[in-house]
């Protein structure tokens, strides 16, 4: 399974080596060279795991961790620390880091820790992946329902499939072709208009104001993406 990882490390040699190692494990990696880049990535994208160097130009890894945990309690975080930074390790764990590795470290050990963290994350998400909230709308893909303001709306199997595919992409755009292939099974009689109609129906169920969606957003010329957590206006 491919996971999406964020790596924030200012040492270029180490950053390239870790990026190559994670990519070699089959993961998609976004690499940032300082705290400012890392902060922008965390605010704009969703990741399956973050590897943060503690000592960074700009905001430190601990500052990034604090900001991340203020809005996201679930994304696993591994801290990279230097020897003699025991205080930072303790603070990092108190702030919500899941693991830490002290430099210099064995690449094999780091990869093993990351693999274990992703396994734990996968097991945790497996239990809750079918139930989630979008603002005040409670979605249950197993029951094919959306509950909001005391009313229960039924999801069609295709609508549930679209939501599940959108969630799997973690805030990234899903093209109409991907919906057609993965939800409709490549049905040659289904076109883009069908996708757009289903999106309109979904917005009626999950959005408070479907005309100004905050969760199911249009990516012009491509398709749609799902924003979870803090509400954001339509772009």
CATH code of 210's domain: 1.10.10.10
- Which of the two residues, 12 and 89, has the higher pLDDT score? 12
Boundary residue ending a domain (126, 158, 185)? 126
For residue 12, give its domain range: 4-126
Laid out side by side, the sheet with 4-8 consists of: 28-32, 4-8, 49-53, 77-82, 99-103
User: In the structure, what pLDDT confidence band is assigned to residue 106 with cuts at 50, 70 and 90?
Assistant: very high
Q: Which of 40, 64, 49 is nearest to 4 (CA)?
A: 49
User: In the structure, what pLDDT confidence band is assigned to residue 16 with cuts at 50, 70 and 90?
Assistant: very high
Q: Are residues 26 and 94 in the same domain?
A: yes
Q: Is residue 234 part of a domain?
A: no
CA 10 to CA 32: how far, in whole Å? 8
Boundary residue ending a domain (102, 126, 150)? 126
- Name the pTM for this structure: 0.56
Looking at residue 229, its pLDDT comes to 63
**pLDDT tens for each residue of 188-214:** 778 888 999 999 999 999 999 999 999
**pLDDT tens for each residue of 43-98:** 888 899 999 999 999 999 999 999 998 887 778 999 999 866 678 888 888 888 98
CA 141 to CA 132: how far, in whole Å? 9
């Amino acid at each position: 399974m491919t996971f999406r990882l964020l790596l924030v490390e200012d040492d270029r040699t180490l950053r390239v080596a870790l990026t190559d190692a994670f990519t070699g494990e089959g993961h998609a990696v976004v690499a940032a060279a300082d705290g400012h880049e890392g902060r922008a990535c965390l605010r704009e994208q969703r990741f399956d795991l973050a590897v943060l160097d503690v000592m960074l130009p700009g905001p430190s890894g601990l500052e990034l961790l604090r900001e991340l945990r203020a809005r996201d309690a679930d994304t696993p975080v591994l801290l990279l620390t230097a020897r003699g930074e025991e205080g930072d390790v303790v603070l990092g764990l108190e702030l919500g880091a899941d693991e830490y590795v002290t430099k210099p470290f064995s690449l094999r050990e780091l990869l093993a820790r990351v693999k274990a963290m992703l396994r734990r994350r996968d097991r945790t998400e497996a239990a809750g992946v079918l139930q989630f909230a979008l603002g005040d709308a409670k979605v249950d893909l197993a029951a094919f329902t959306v509950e909001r303001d005391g009313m229960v709306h039924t999801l069609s199997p295709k609508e549930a499939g679209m939501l599940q595919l959108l969630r799997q992409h973690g805030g990234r755009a899903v093209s109409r072709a991907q919906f057609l292939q993965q939800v409709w099974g490549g049905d040659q009689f289904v076109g883009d208009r069908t996708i757009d109609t289903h999106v309109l129906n979904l917005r009626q169920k999950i959005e408070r104001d479907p005309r100004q969606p905050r969760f199911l957003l249009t990516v012009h010329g491509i398709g749609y993406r799902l924003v979870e957590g803090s509400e954001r206006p339509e772009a």
